Amino acid sequence: MRAPTVKPVRRRTFAPWYDRIKCRPELFFEPATEEQLIEIVRLIRQKGRTCRVVGAGHSLSDLPCTDDYMIGTDRLDRLIAVDEKTRRVRVQGGMRLSVLHRHLEKHRLALSCVGSISDQSVGGLIATATHSTGVNYASMSTLVTELTMVTADGELLTCSRTKLPRLFRAALCSLGCLGIIVRVEFECERAFDLRATEELLPMDSVLEQWDSTIRSAEHVRLWWFPHSDRTLVWRASRTDKAMRRAPARSWFRTRLLGYHLYQGAIYASRALPALLPAIERWHVALLHEKPTTMVGPSHRVFNYDCSMRVWASEWAIPLEHACDALRQIRAMLRQCAFPVYFPIEVRFAAKDDIWLSPAQGRAVCYINISIPRPYRKELPYQQYWREFEAIMRQFNGRPHWAKTHSLVYEDLVKVYPHLDDFLELRAQLDPAGVFLNAHIRRHLLPSTRKHHADL
């Protein structure tokens, strides 16, 4: 076999963002052109090896990991075309979302919705159907109008709503196992400002006025602080008011106290979990007690500071069961003997028709529990995790693909009506399993093994 023209790095340690699991791919490739990528994929296939593609590595699981070959997309990050009239933009799959925002700003365009951060690669966020929040806003994959992948046999394959529509509905959440996304076309809208407010309310009143609360703005996100049973309601809607810069946040308050001291306090609570309610009260009083308002360009308002390393479990349940599920979580937490370190995040998404999207065929409420990793130290989580998952499963929950969960094929097939269609397509496109890794085999492929806890 001839050597590829892109020199790989040997045994480069790779750790996803949350840094709990590491892997050491035998070879790490970083192609700068589609031709180089195609050459690498063909060589890997000829050699009978496997590879995983990685974007920004911001998954909170071993989803992108492999000890075989890994392909990074950081150098496939070009802007291909912008059409201001049709508001369509074409970019390469390795472009980071933050870079895409900058290009769009120059053309007075914006994506309709964005998640909590913009560090992901375009390919990575599509591959996991990354979502924002808002009952009328579906996942960010639904903003894609066309995409092109390099398949396992090194061919370019383009799909859209009209061209290979079945493949398109599979490729908009493909977990990196149908092909490597190299080109993406997004439909944008005119750049807009969002006006966001934050208000602290008792959880009881949020639950009592649930429907009006979650529809009280275009985008609503809840942070439920379980020890004090209060909820920070974040609401954001488009505004035509003249562009104003978001008010500068004090470094002392947000970074020094809100991050460093908070991290230290959580670390200390490892030995003294009884401190947790007091830590929560102090943190809420420091950052959230006063209602706040900010106005700014949409993506800056959607994003917030996520610098605390966490490990997360996030599930999408049918929207109509959200209140019941939250009440059950509350009952579980009131009786529990395990520590709860972090607020619970609640978001919303409209239904879509992407085969493996957690919102396929149903509007959903996403509920996310996070376990912080202060100074990269592990905190106890297993029981919390298990009890939370049990409630989510009771409501036919579907886990976020980029986060950690314990479902296997036999569980997933019950909640994803198109899982078998997806796996059939995967087998057609990649019969040799070039893009498979341990995560995909463990969770997605049918197995004879019993329920496997990936915790």
Ligand X SMILES: Cc1cc2nc3c(=O)[nH]c(=O)nc-3n(C[C@H](O)[C@H](O)[C@H](O)COP(=O)(O)OP(=O)(O)OC[C@H]3O[C@@H](n4cnc5c(N)ncnc54)[C@H](O)[C@@H]3O)c2cc1C
Residues that bind ligand X (CB under 6 A): 16-17, 52-60, 63-64, 73, 93, 115-117, 120-121, 123-125, 127-128, 130-131, 175-176, 180-181, 306, 400, 402
Residue (133 or 328) nearer to ligand X, CB: 133
Residue-wise burial string across 84-112, b where 16 or more C-beta atoms lie within 10 A, e elsewhere: eeebbbbbbbbbbbebbbeebeebebbbb
Residue (206 or 436) nearer to ligand X, CB: 436
Tokens linked to 422? 């997806």
Residue (94 or 328) nearer to ligand X, CB: 94
Residue (289 or 378) nearer to ligand X, CB: 378
> Element (H or E) spanning 312, and its range?
strand 310-318
Shortest distance in whole angstroms from residue 106 CB to ligand X: 23
Per-residue DSSP letter, 114: -
Shortest distance in whole angstroms from residue 193 CB to ligand X: 20
CA–CA separation, 328 vs 332, rounded Å? 6
Residue (56 or 325) nearer to ligand X, CB: 56
Shortest distance in whole angstroms from residue 202 CB to ligand X: 26
The region, left, alpha or beta by phi > 0 then psi within -120 to 50, assigned to residue 245 is: beta
Residue (90 or 333) nearer to ligand X, CB: 90
Shortest distance in whole angstroms from residue 144 CB to ligand X: 12
* Helix axes 322-335 and 382-394, enclosed angle (nearest 10): 150
Name the one residue in this structure whose structure tokens are 């807009």: 192
Considering only CA atoms, which of 107, 113, 31, 116 is closest in space to residue 73? 31
Residue (326 or 402) nearer to ligand X, CB: 402
Shortest distance in whole angstroms from residue 437 CB to ligand X: 8
- Annotate 384-421 with DSSP letters as a single string: HHHHHHHHHHHTT-EE-TTS-----HHHHHHH-TTHHH
How many alpha carbons lie under 13 Å from residue 117 in its C-beta half-sphere? 14
CA–CA separation, 214 vs 373, rounded Å? 30
Name the one residue in this structure whose structure tokens are 């007075």: 108
Residue (127 or 333) nearer to ligand X, CB: 127
Shortest distance in whole angstroms from residue 373 CB to ligand X: 12
Across the beta sheet with 69-72, what order do the strands follow? 9-10, 27-29, 69-72, 51-54
Shortest distance in whole angstroms from residue 433 CB to ligand X: 14
Residues 149/181, Cβ–Cβ less than 8 Å: yes
Shortest distance in whole angstroms from residue 158 CB to ligand X: 14
Shortest distance in whole angstroms from residue 58 CB to ligand X: 3
The residue length of the chain stands at 455
Shortest distance in whole angstroms from residue 313 CB to ligand X: 12
CA–CA separation, 425 vs 396, rounded Å? 25
Residue (117 or 276) nearer to ligand X, CB: 117
Residue (104 or 312) nearer to ligand X, CB: 312
Residue (93 or 333) nearer to ligand X, CB: 93
Shortest distance in whole angstroms from residue 42 CB to ligand X: 17
Query: C-alpha distances in angstroms, 226 versus 88, 182, 271, 371?
Result: 43, 42, 20, 14
CA–CA separation, 268 vs 306, rounded Å? 21
Please classify residue 259 by burial: count the beta carbons closer than 10 Å to its beta carbon, then call 0-12 exposed, 13-18 middle and 19+ buried: middle
